[in-house]
Amino acid sequence: MIVGIPKEIKNNENRVGITPAGVEALKKAGHTVLIETSAGKGSGFEDSEYRDKGAEILSSASEVWSKAEMVIKVKEPLAEEYGFFRQNLILFTYLHLAPEAGLTKALADSGVVAVGYETIQLDDGSLPLLTPMSEVAGRMAVQIGAGLLEKPHGGKGILLGGVPGVKPAEVVIIGGGVVGTNAAKVAIGMGARVTILDLNANRLRELDDIFGGRLMTIMSDSYHIEEAVRKADLLIGAVLIPGARAPKLVKEYMVQQMTEGSVIVDVAIDQGGSIETIDRITTHENPTYIKHGVVHYAVANMPGAVARTSTLALTNVTIPYALQIANFGMSEAATGNISLARGINVAAGHVTNQAVAQSLGYAFMDGLEALKETGLV
């Protein structure tokens, strides 16, 4: 198969869809790899390293998109890239379609087969291609939040861990999955007082066991969310219902009750955000705004700022799936691997993820059924 990797174009997105090790793996399996020049630069990979492993370096994104049978990316395509879509092109990347009506329409109208990393799901419900970036973003959420609590960044001027004789900050995390757990690890490590809310009682039990009483676990409902948000110095949004738009759990009146200079980091912004006062996606270039005296951070590609770590962690988990698609073809690979089949979001003009279809008002079609219409092997 001809596999193409364009340079990412989102604001400060320094990750890339493949490492030289990934090129080596694809080449050994007999595939052709085309990479846009300097695509790996932001992650510390030079063109020469890819060339040494057998990749062909192309000078433009349009060449990569038009020659490739499968495009491997990191972030969802931006409007400037929609013109590259064509029938039966396989697109393998993060998509987060529920809040992206325009992208979903463009994918469906053009007949792209779009596989979203974030919806590839194992039988136990885990999301193996989301996990490493959630680990990164969860850890980052606390270090970013700690910085924003400093006065020059708009915060109330408190040190997350406090000092002897002065109490530490209150960190409240809504969602105790991968992001939430990693945020808790860092926040506890920095000496903060941590509360996690989740609506899965078993998850709260696991967290209690993992952290041995060093954090407070609370059942997530509107009463307890309001109570926790009111006392939070740093609030982290970390909920997920796979594929679906994030529920707006923190209402505007709750944010109004937070003390001035508190900070919100809504990691769940890539699924539309879980905080009512987050009405826009922010960028690494311009990451915050202040509303009701509270600093809001809503960057949808947080791991892009620590691109070297993130690219290595991401490609560790994506390349085995990319190899399956390249080796067997999209239909056979998805038929043989139900977890991969769950990742198909759009095929043959149909929306094939139930939660995305419901969020955007499309009729749902099973991914494997839709693949039959493509004629792809």
Q: Which residues bind ligand NAI (CB under 6 A)?
A: 118, 130, 133-134, 137, 174-180, 197-200, 203, 220, 238-241, 247, 249, 267-271, 300-303
Q: Is 5 helix (H, G, I), strand (E, B) or coil?
A: strand
Q: Answer yes or no: 153 catalytic.
A: no
Token pair for 191: 């000496």
Should residue 345 be labelled a site residue for ligand CC(=O)C(=O)O when binding is judged by CB under 6 A? no
User: How far apart are the C-alpha atoms of 328 and 29, rounded to whole Å?
Assistant: 11
Candidates 233, 270, 296, 350; catalytic one: 270
In angstroms, what is the minimal distance from the CB of 231 to ligand CC(=O)C(=O)O?
A: 29
Rank residues 232 and 268 by Cβ distance to ligand CC(=O)C(=O)O and give the closer one: 268
Q: Answer yes or no: 284 catalytic.
A: no
Q: Are 261 and 293 in contact (CB under 8 A)?
A: yes
Should residue 297 be labelled a site residue for ligand CC(=O)C(=O)O when binding is judged by CB under 6 A? no
Tally the C-alpha atoms within 13 A of residue 36's C-alpha that lie toward its C-beta.
20
Q: Is 306 helix (H, G, I), strand (E, B) or coil?
A: helix
List all residues 6 or more positions away from 200 whose beta carbon is below 8 Å from its beta carbon. 176
Should residue 270 be labelled a site residue for ligand CC(=O)C(=O)O when binding is judged by CB under 6 A? yes
The C-alpha angle with vertex 123 and arms to 121 and 127, in degrees rounded to 5, equals: 25
268 is in an annotated binding site: yes
Beta bridge partner(s), residue 8? none
Q: Is 4 helix (H, G, I), strand (E, B) or coil?
A: strand
User: How far apart are the C-alpha atoms of 36 and 56, rounded to whole Å?
Assistant: 9
Should residue 305 be labelled a site residue for ligand CC(=O)C(=O)O when binding is judged by CB under 6 A? no
With tokens 């000092």, the residue in question is 163
Q: Are 267 and 238 in contact (CB under 8 A)?
A: yes
Rank residues 17 and 111 by Cβ distance to ligand CC(=O)C(=O)O and give the closer one: 17
In angstroms, what is the minimal distance from the CB of 200 to ligand NAI?
A: 4
- Interacting residues with ligand CC(=O)C(=O)O between 56 and 75 (CB under 6 A): 75
- DSSP codes joined into one string, 214-256: SSEEEE-SHHHHHHHHHH-SEEEE----TTSPPP--B-HHHHH
Rank residues 130 and 190 by Cβ distance to ligand CC(=O)C(=O)O and give the closer one: 130
For residue 268, the partner it binds in ligand NAI, ligand CC(=O)C(=O)O, none, with Cβ less than 5 to 8 A by kind, is ligand NAI
144 is in an annotated binding site: no
For residue 305, the partner it binds in ligand CC(=O)C(=O)O, ligand NAI, none, with Cβ less than 5 to 8 A by kind, is none
Token pair for 105: 């329409």
Residue set of the binding site for NAD(+): 134, 198, 203, 220, 239-240, 267-270, 280, 299-302
Under the rule (CB under 6 A), what is the footprint of ligand CC(=O)C(=O)O? Answer: 75, 94, 96, 118, 130, 133, 270, 301, 303
Q: State the catalytic residues.
A: 96, 270
